[in-house]
Structure 1
Amino acid sequence: MKQSKILVYLSLLSFIVAIGMFAYLVNASKALSYLSDNPKACINCHVMFTQYQTWQHSSHQGVATCVECHLPTDGFFAKYLAKAKDGFNHSVAFTMGSYQQSIAISQDGANRVQANCISCHSNLAATLVDNAQNYHNFKNPTEYNDRWCWDCHKEVPHGRVRSLSATPNAIGIREWHQK
Protein backbone atom coordinates (compact mmCIF):
# COMPACT_ATOMS: atom_id res chain seq x y z
CA MET A 1 0.00 0.00 0.00
CA LYS A 2 2.76 2.43 0.94
CA GLN A 3 4.65 1.66 -2.26
CA SER A 4 1.62 2.43 -4.46
CA LYS A 5 1.19 5.80 -2.69
CA ILE A 6 4.81 6.64 -3.48
CA LEU A 7 4.24 5.71 -7.13
CA VAL A 8 1.16 7.94 -7.28
CA TYR A 9 3.10 10.87 -5.79
CA LEU A 10 6.06 10.31 -8.13
CA SER A 11 3.72 10.08 -11.10
CA LEU A 12 1.96 13.29 -10.06
CA LEU A 13 5.29 15.04 -9.49
CA SER A 14 6.55 13.88 -12.92
CA PHE A 15 3.36 15.15 -14.55
CA ILE A 16 3.66 18.56 -12.84
CA VAL A 17 7.34 18.85 -13.84
CA ALA A 18 6.46 17.93 -17.46
CA ILE A 19 3.69 20.57 -17.52
CA GLY A 20 6.09 23.13 -16.05
CA MET A 21 8.76 22.33 -18.64
CA PHE A 22 6.19 22.54 -21.44
CA ALA A 23 4.98 25.93 -20.18
CA TYR A 24 8.58 27.14 -19.97
CA LEU A 25 9.31 26.01 -23.54
CA VAL A 26 6.14 27.66 -24.88
CA ASN A 27 7.09 30.90 -23.14
CA ALA A 28 10.80 30.83 -24.04
CA SER A 29 10.15 30.04 -27.70
CA LYS A 30 7.34 32.63 -27.97
CA ALA A 31 5.30 29.78 -29.47
CA LEU A 32 1.94 31.53 -29.10
CA SER A 33 3.18 34.39 -31.27
CA TYR A 34 3.15 31.99 -34.23
CA LEU A 35 -0.64 31.85 -34.03
CA SER A 36 -0.80 35.57 -34.87
CA ASP A 37 -0.35 37.40 -38.16
CA ASN A 38 2.28 39.69 -36.63
CA PRO A 39 5.40 39.75 -38.85
CA LYS A 40 7.59 40.01 -35.73
CA ALA A 41 6.72 36.39 -35.00
CA CYS A 42 8.84 35.52 -38.04
CA ILE A 43 11.94 36.89 -36.33
CA ASN A 44 11.68 34.72 -33.25
CA CYS A 45 14.41 32.73 -34.98
CA HIS A 46 17.45 34.83 -35.76
CA VAL A 47 17.79 33.34 -39.24
CA MET A 48 14.79 35.36 -40.46
CA PHE A 49 16.20 38.77 -39.47
CA THR A 50 17.32 39.57 -43.01
CA GLN A 51 13.95 38.69 -44.51
CA TYR A 52 12.13 40.76 -41.88
CA GLN A 53 14.43 43.74 -42.26
CA THR A 54 14.25 43.81 -46.05
CA TRP A 55 10.45 43.38 -45.99
CA GLN A 56 10.23 46.22 -43.45
CA HIS A 57 11.77 48.59 -46.01
CA SER A 58 9.86 47.29 -49.03
CA SER A 59 6.80 48.46 -50.91
CA HIS A 60 4.86 45.51 -49.45
CA GLN A 61 5.46 46.52 -45.81
CA GLY A 62 2.35 48.70 -45.65
CA VAL A 63 0.05 46.35 -47.54
CA ALA A 64 1.02 42.73 -46.88
CA THR A 65 2.39 40.75 -43.96
CA CYS A 66 4.50 37.61 -44.07
CA VAL A 67 1.39 35.51 -43.52
CA GLU A 68 -0.51 37.14 -46.39
CA CYS A 69 2.29 36.30 -48.84
CA HIS A 70 3.62 33.00 -47.51
CA LEU A 71 0.53 31.14 -46.29
CA PRO A 72 -2.70 30.06 -47.99
CA THR A 73 -5.39 32.71 -47.89
CA ASP A 74 -8.28 30.44 -48.85
CA GLY A 75 -9.35 29.37 -45.39
CA PHE A 76 -8.58 28.92 -41.72
CA PHE A 77 -7.79 25.21 -41.94
CA ALA A 78 -5.40 25.52 -44.91
CA LYS A 79 -3.60 28.45 -43.27
CA TYR A 80 -3.00 26.74 -39.93
CA LEU A 81 -2.13 23.41 -41.55
CA ALA A 82 0.58 25.20 -43.57
CA LYS A 83 1.73 27.06 -40.43
CA ALA A 84 2.01 23.76 -38.55
CA LYS A 85 3.90 22.06 -41.39
CA ASP A 86 6.28 24.99 -41.90
CA GLY A 87 6.71 25.45 -38.16
CA PHE A 88 7.70 21.83 -37.69
CA ASN A 89 10.14 21.95 -40.62
CA HIS A 90 11.62 25.24 -39.39
CA SER A 91 12.02 24.05 -35.82
CA VAL A 92 13.80 20.89 -36.97
CA ALA A 93 16.11 22.86 -39.30
CA PHE A 94 16.88 25.53 -36.68
CA THR A 95 17.37 23.04 -33.85
CA MET A 96 19.63 20.81 -35.92
CA GLY A 97 21.35 23.72 -37.65
CA SER A 98 20.60 22.12 -41.01
CA TYR A 99 19.63 25.30 -42.88
CA GLN A 100 21.84 27.10 -45.35
CA GLN A 101 23.38 30.54 -44.83
CA SER A 102 21.20 31.74 -47.70
CA ILE A 103 17.67 30.54 -46.99
CA ALA A 104 15.64 29.31 -49.96
CA ILE A 105 11.90 28.83 -50.12
CA SER A 106 10.51 25.30 -50.42
CA GLN A 107 8.53 24.20 -53.48
CA ASP A 108 5.31 24.19 -51.43
CA GLY A 109 6.09 27.65 -50.09
CA ALA A 110 6.91 28.94 -53.58
CA ASN A 111 3.59 27.63 -54.88
CA ARG A 112 1.75 29.47 -52.09
CA VAL A 113 3.64 32.73 -52.70
CA GLN A 114 2.98 32.51 -56.45
CA ALA A 115 -0.75 31.94 -55.85
CA ASN A 116 -0.86 34.91 -53.45
CA CYS A 117 1.03 37.18 -55.88
CA ILE A 118 -1.46 36.34 -58.61
CA SER A 119 -4.40 36.72 -56.21
CA CYS A 120 -3.36 40.19 -55.01
CA HIS A 121 -2.30 41.33 -58.45
CA SER A 122 -5.08 39.54 -60.36
CA ASN A 123 -5.79 42.42 -62.76
CA LEU A 124 -2.13 42.68 -63.71
CA ALA A 125 -1.76 38.90 -63.98
CA ALA A 126 -4.81 38.68 -66.26
CA THR A 127 -3.37 41.42 -68.46
CA LEU A 128 -0.06 39.58 -68.69
CA VAL A 129 -1.81 36.38 -69.73
CA ASP A 130 -3.98 38.20 -72.29
CA ASN A 131 -0.99 40.01 -73.77
CA ALA A 132 1.68 37.35 -73.25
CA GLN A 133 2.73 37.46 -76.88
CA ASN A 134 3.45 41.22 -76.61
CA TYR A 135 5.17 41.52 -73.23
CA HIS A 136 7.79 39.96 -71.00
CA ASN A 137 9.58 38.28 -73.90
CA PHE A 138 7.25 35.29 -73.93
CA LYS A 139 7.56 33.10 -77.00
CA ASN A 140 4.09 31.72 -76.42
CA PRO A 141 1.26 32.40 -73.91
CA THR A 142 1.73 29.13 -72.03
CA GLU A 143 5.28 30.13 -71.07
CA TYR A 144 3.74 32.59 -68.58
CA ASN A 145 2.48 29.66 -66.50
CA ASP A 146 6.00 28.23 -66.16
CA ARG A 147 7.53 31.32 -64.54
CA TRP A 148 7.54 32.62 -60.99
CA CYS A 149 6.62 36.27 -60.44
CA TRP A 150 10.02 36.76 -58.79
CA ASP A 151 11.87 35.51 -61.87
CA CYS A 152 11.53 39.11 -63.05
CA HIS A 153 10.66 40.87 -59.80
CA LYS A 154 13.64 39.54 -57.81
CA GLU A 155 13.76 42.41 -55.35
CA VAL A 156 10.10 42.25 -54.28
CA PRO A 157 9.72 42.37 -51.31
CA HIS A 158 13.00 41.17 -49.84
CA GLY A 159 15.48 43.12 -51.92
CA ARG A 160 18.81 41.72 -53.04
CA VAL A 161 19.93 40.65 -49.59
CA ARG A 162 19.93 36.90 -49.12
CA SER A 163 22.20 35.88 -46.24
CA LEU A 164 22.29 35.94 -42.44
CA SER A 165 25.22 38.34 -42.30
CA ALA A 166 23.71 40.89 -44.68
CA THR A 167 21.84 42.93 -42.05
CA PRO A 168 23.84 42.56 -38.82
CA ASN A 169 22.49 45.78 -37.30
CA ALA A 170 18.89 45.39 -38.39
CA ILE A 171 16.86 48.23 -36.90
CA GLY A 172 13.95 47.16 -34.75
CA ILE A 173 15.08 43.62 -34.22
CA ARG A 174 17.23 44.23 -31.17
CA GLU A 175 14.37 46.11 -29.49
CA TRP A 176 11.95 43.25 -30.17
CA HIS A 177 14.22 40.64 -28.63
CA GLN A 178 15.16 42.74 -25.61
CA LYS A 179 11.53 42.81 -24.44
Structure 2
Amino acid sequence: MAEEETVTATEQPSEAGPARQRTWLRGKNVLLFLAVFVFGSFIGVGSFTFLYANGIGYLYDEPEGCAQCHAMDDYLEGYNKGSHKDVATCNDCHMPHDNLAKSLWVKADNGFWHALKFTTGDYPTNIEIRESNRQVTNEACVYCHGDYLSGVHEVRAEGDELDCTRCHETVGHAK
Protein backbone atom coordinates (compact mmCIF):
# COMPACT_ATOMS: atom_id res chain seq x y z
CA MET A 1 0.00 0.00 0.00
CA ALA A 2 2.90 2.31 0.70
CA GLU A 3 4.13 1.81 -2.87
CA GLU A 4 0.79 2.87 -4.29
CA GLU A 5 0.84 6.08 -2.30
CA THR A 6 4.33 6.91 -3.57
CA VAL A 7 3.37 6.31 -7.20
CA THR A 8 0.22 8.39 -6.80
CA ALA A 9 2.13 11.25 -5.23
CA THR A 10 4.72 11.44 -8.04
CA GLU A 11 2.18 11.12 -10.86
CA GLN A 12 0.03 14.00 -9.71
CA PRO A 13 1.56 17.34 -10.69
CA SER A 14 1.54 19.95 -8.02
CA GLU A 15 0.94 23.64 -8.87
CA ALA A 16 4.63 24.43 -8.49
CA GLY A 17 5.86 21.21 -10.15
CA PRO A 18 6.15 20.06 -13.79
CA ALA A 19 3.38 22.31 -15.18
CA ARG A 20 5.25 25.40 -14.01
CA GLN A 21 8.54 23.97 -15.26
CA ARG A 22 7.11 23.43 -18.77
CA THR A 23 6.12 27.13 -18.97
CA TRP A 24 9.62 28.19 -17.95
CA LEU A 25 11.18 25.91 -20.57
CA ARG A 26 8.91 27.34 -23.23
CA GLY A 27 10.16 30.89 -22.50
CA LYS A 28 13.74 29.67 -22.42
CA ASN A 29 13.30 28.00 -25.83
CA VAL A 30 11.95 31.22 -27.33
CA LEU A 31 14.96 33.16 -26.05
CA LEU A 32 17.31 30.47 -27.34
CA PHE A 33 15.59 30.52 -30.74
CA LEU A 34 15.85 34.33 -30.93
CA ALA A 35 19.52 34.26 -29.96
CA VAL A 36 20.30 31.61 -32.59
CA PHE A 37 18.25 33.50 -35.20
CA VAL A 38 20.01 36.83 -34.53
CA PHE A 39 23.46 35.21 -34.44
CA GLY A 40 22.71 33.18 -37.59
CA SER A 41 21.44 36.27 -39.42
CA PHE A 42 24.57 38.18 -38.45
CA ILE A 43 26.78 35.35 -39.72
CA GLY A 44 24.71 34.99 -42.91
CA VAL A 45 24.72 38.69 -43.80
CA GLY A 46 28.39 38.97 -42.87
CA SER A 47 29.27 35.96 -45.02
CA PHE A 48 27.31 37.36 -47.95
CA THR A 49 28.97 40.77 -47.60
CA PHE A 50 32.52 39.55 -47.19
CA LEU A 51 32.49 36.50 -49.45
CA TYR A 52 29.88 36.76 -52.20
CA ALA A 53 29.90 40.56 -52.53
CA ASN A 54 33.69 40.66 -51.98
CA GLY A 55 33.43 43.11 -49.09
CA ILE A 56 36.79 41.82 -47.94
CA GLY A 57 38.30 43.70 -50.90
CA TYR A 58 37.71 46.94 -49.00
CA LEU A 59 40.14 45.81 -46.31
CA TYR A 60 43.13 45.95 -48.65
CA ASP A 61 45.03 48.93 -50.04
CA GLU A 62 44.56 48.32 -53.76
CA PRO A 63 42.42 51.05 -55.37
CA GLU A 64 40.63 48.42 -57.48
CA GLY A 65 39.15 47.05 -54.24
CA CYS A 66 37.47 50.40 -53.62
CA ALA A 67 36.08 50.48 -57.16
CA GLN A 68 34.19 47.19 -57.07
CA CYS A 69 30.95 49.00 -57.81
CA HIS A 70 30.45 50.61 -61.23
CA ALA A 71 29.57 53.88 -59.47
CA MET A 72 33.24 54.19 -58.51
CA ASP A 73 34.66 53.57 -62.01
CA ASP A 74 35.07 57.29 -62.75
CA TYR A 75 36.81 57.83 -59.41
CA LEU A 76 39.27 54.98 -60.09
CA GLU A 77 39.92 56.38 -63.57
CA GLY A 78 40.48 59.83 -62.02
CA TYR A 79 42.82 58.34 -59.41
CA ASN A 80 44.83 56.62 -62.15
CA LYS A 81 45.22 60.01 -63.92
CA GLY A 82 45.91 61.94 -60.69
CA SER A 83 49.16 63.09 -59.14
CA HIS A 84 48.90 60.77 -56.13
CA LYS A 85 48.72 57.47 -58.04
CA ASP A 86 52.36 56.58 -57.51
CA VAL A 87 52.60 57.74 -53.89
CA ALA A 88 49.25 57.04 -52.19
CA THR A 89 46.33 54.62 -52.15
CA CYS A 90 42.68 55.22 -51.30
CA ASN A 91 43.34 54.42 -47.64
CA ASP A 92 46.19 56.95 -47.45
CA CYS A 93 43.75 59.76 -48.23
CA HIS A 94 40.45 58.42 -46.93
CA MET A 95 41.43 56.74 -43.63
CA PRO A 96 42.65 58.39 -40.40
CA HIS A 97 46.35 58.16 -39.60
CA ASP A 98 46.19 58.96 -35.88
CA ASN A 99 44.96 55.67 -34.40
CA LEU A 100 43.80 52.21 -35.39
CA ALA A 101 40.46 52.32 -33.55
CA LYS A 102 39.40 55.50 -35.36
CA SER A 103 40.54 54.03 -38.67
CA LEU A 104 38.52 50.85 -38.13
CA TRP A 105 35.46 52.90 -37.11
CA VAL A 106 35.68 55.03 -40.29
CA LYS A 107 36.15 51.91 -42.43
CA ALA A 108 33.14 50.19 -40.80
CA ASP A 109 30.99 53.33 -41.09
CA ASN A 110 31.90 53.80 -44.76
CA GLY A 111 31.48 50.09 -45.47
CA PHE A 112 27.98 50.08 -44.01
CA TRP A 113 26.84 53.14 -45.97
CA HIS A 114 28.51 51.99 -49.20
CA ALA A 115 26.90 48.56 -48.93
CA LEU A 116 23.49 50.06 -48.17
CA LYS A 117 23.62 52.69 -50.92
CA PHE A 118 25.05 50.40 -53.61
CA THR A 119 22.76 47.48 -52.74
CA THR A 120 19.64 49.64 -52.85
CA GLY A 121 20.90 51.75 -55.78
CA ASP A 122 20.01 54.86 -53.78
CA TYR A 123 22.98 57.09 -54.55
CA PRO A 124 23.40 60.14 -56.77
CA THR A 125 25.18 59.94 -60.12
CA ASN A 126 27.72 62.47 -58.89
CA ILE A 127 28.73 60.98 -55.53
CA GLU A 128 29.61 63.62 -52.96
CA ILE A 129 31.89 63.15 -49.97
CA ARG A 130 30.22 63.24 -46.56
CA GLU A 131 31.41 65.93 -44.13
CA SER A 132 32.95 63.38 -41.76
CA ASN A 133 34.95 61.92 -44.66
CA ARG A 134 35.99 65.39 -45.82
CA GLN A 135 37.48 65.98 -42.36
CA VAL A 136 39.37 62.68 -42.52
CA THR A 137 40.69 63.58 -46.00
CA ASN A 138 41.80 67.03 -44.84
CA GLU A 139 43.58 65.46 -41.87
CA ALA A 140 45.33 63.08 -44.29
CA CYS A 141 46.46 66.05 -46.42
CA VAL A 142 47.97 67.69 -43.34
CA TYR A 143 49.53 64.38 -42.26
CA CYS A 144 51.46 64.05 -45.53
CA HIS A 145 51.95 67.72 -46.46
CA GLY A 146 52.22 69.31 -43.01
CA ASP A 147 55.70 70.73 -43.71
CA TYR A 148 54.35 72.69 -46.67
CA LEU A 149 51.35 74.00 -44.77
CA SER A 150 52.99 75.90 -41.93
CA GLY A 151 52.93 79.15 -43.95
CA VAL A 152 49.31 78.57 -44.91
CA HIS A 153 48.32 78.22 -41.25
CA GLU A 154 49.95 81.56 -40.43
CA VAL A 155 48.13 83.41 -43.22
CA ARG A 156 44.66 82.05 -42.43
CA ALA A 157 42.42 84.05 -40.12
CA GLU A 158 41.95 82.62 -36.65
CA GLY A 159 38.99 80.23 -36.59
CA ASP A 160 39.14 79.78 -40.37
CA GLU A 161 39.58 76.00 -40.60
CA LEU A 162 41.93 74.58 -43.21
CA ASP A 163 39.98 72.85 -45.98
CA CYS A 164 42.39 71.37 -48.52
CA THR A 165 39.63 69.79 -50.61
CA ARG A 166 37.93 73.13 -51.20
CA CYS A 167 40.75 74.30 -53.49
CA HIS A 168 42.34 70.96 -54.40
CA GLU A 169 39.20 68.94 -55.04
CA THR A 170 40.56 67.09 -58.08
CA VAL A 171 44.07 66.27 -56.81
CA GLY A 172 43.24 62.68 -55.85
CA HIS A 173 40.72 62.11 -58.62
CA ALA A 174 41.80 64.09 -61.69
CA LYS A 175 38.97 64.88 -64.07
Could you tell me the TM-score, scaled by structure 1's length? 0.68
Kindly indicate whether residue 107 of structure 2 is the aligned counterpart of residue 107 of structure 1.
no
Matching of residues 29-178 of structure 1 within 5 Å: 29-130=53-154, 132=155, 141-142=157-158, 145-160=160-175
The CA distance in 1 between the partners of 2:49 and 2:94, in whole Å, is 26
* Separation in structure 2 between the aligned mates of residue 142 and residue 33 of structure 1, nearest angstrom: 42
Which deviations, in whole Å up to 9, do the C-alpha atoms of 1:73-113 show, x marking residues without a partner?
12222111111110001111111211100000001000000
Change (3 A) 1:141 1:50: same
Offset, 1:23: 4.4
% identical equivalent positions? 29
Aligned position for 2:3: none
> What is the CA–CA distance in structure 2 between the aligned matches of 1:31 and 1:25, rounded to whole Å?
5
Could you say which structure has the larger radius of gyration? Answer: 2
TM-score, structure 2 normalization: 0.69
8 A contact 1:29–1:44 mirrored in 2: no
- What's the Cα RMSD here? 2.5
Q: Which amino acid aligns with 1:48?
A: M
Q: Which runs of 5+ in 1 are unaligned?
A: 1-10, 133-139, 161-179
Q: Deviations over 1:27-82 (max 9, x none)?
A: 32112212212211101111111111111111100111100100111222211111
What is the SS of the residue equivalent to 1:158?
A: coil
8 A Cα contact 2:134 2:165, kept in partner: no
Within 1, Cα distance between the matches of 2:87 and 2:163?
A: 21
Q: Which residue in the other structure is 2:19 paired with?
A: none
Gapped regions of structure 2 (runs ≥ 5)? 1-32
Q: Secondary structure of the residue that 1:146 maps to in structure 2? A: coil
User: Whose helix proportion is higher, 1 or 2?
Assistant: 2
Separation of aligned partners in 2, 1:91 and 1:100: 14
